[in-house]
Amino acid sequence: MIGRLRGVVDSYGEDWVILDVNGVGYEVTCPARTMLGLPRVGETATLSVETHLRDDRIRLFGFASDAERAWFRLLQTVQGVGAKVALAVVGTLSPQDLANAVALGDKGQVARSPGVGQKVAGRIVTELKDRMPALVRLGAPLDGIAFPDTAQPLTGAAADAVSALTNLGYAQGQAAAAIAAAAQKAGEGARAEELIRLGLKELAR
């Protein structure tokens, strides 16, 4: 199985790139975020690769990092999520933003992905919230992801707190991570005002 490719970019398509590796051209399907980060034709690129074997056909999926590939694999363990949907999610949300959305139960963030409705997004955040810590313990390289060890669903207070921090100019991912950590410290029943105060402390670190 192919796990990584390093080669010269030969050509591009809408969602694929051909990498020339020692004279062999590998067609690799990539999420949108990975495609945007690839170098120009003639330059060298390295991709983390997931190999799928289907009906005597080999299909390669390429990612900018091992973290993106790990999420691509994990997403497909959710009922009704195949490679197409997983690729759309990874192509829309960074590993950090995706982890924060799952930790907070924020299906709205996941539903931003093309072709992902609220029902599928709900299953993703519900089924994966208990698997992220396990994924990290197994050594999946999810560097930079910020979420509490015990994932908590998005409550009205937490949603209000995230909204307040984004209104102050913080990025959605930063705000969600800070409130996730704040919710863990404050415990159940914390009010939005308390979460905002603790969240600002997290962001000031």
Residue 188 belongs to a domain with what CATH number?
1.10.8
> 96, 128, 146 — which closes off a domain?
146
Tell me the C-alpha distance between 48 and 54, whole Å: 20
- Would you say residue 125 has pLDDT above 80? yes
72 and 137 belong to one structural domain:
yes
Cβ distance 173 to 103 under 8 Å?
no
Rounded to two decimals, the pTM is 0.67
Residue 72 belongs to a domain with what CATH number?
1.10.150.20
Domain enclosing residue 196, as ranges: 155-205
Say how many C-beta atoms besides its own lie within 10 A of residue 163's C-beta: 15
79 and 60 belong to one structural domain:
no
pLDDT in tens, 133-173: 444 433 344 333 344 433 444 558 888 888 887 776 777 77
46 and 115 belong to one structural domain:
no
pLDDT in tens, 71-110: 999 999 999 899 999 999 999 998 878 887 887 788 998 9
42: left (phi over 0), alpha (psi -120 to 50) or beta: left
- Would you say residue 50 has pLDDT above 80? yes
Query: Which distant-in-sequence residues (6+ apart) come within 8 Å of 112 by Cβ?
Result: 92, 93
Structural domains of the chain, count: 3
pLDDT of residue 174: 76
> 64, 85, 103 — which closes off a domain?
64
Could you write out the three-class secondary structure of 56-88? CEEEEEEECCHHHHHHHHHHCCCCCCCHHHHHH
pLDDT of residue 141: 42
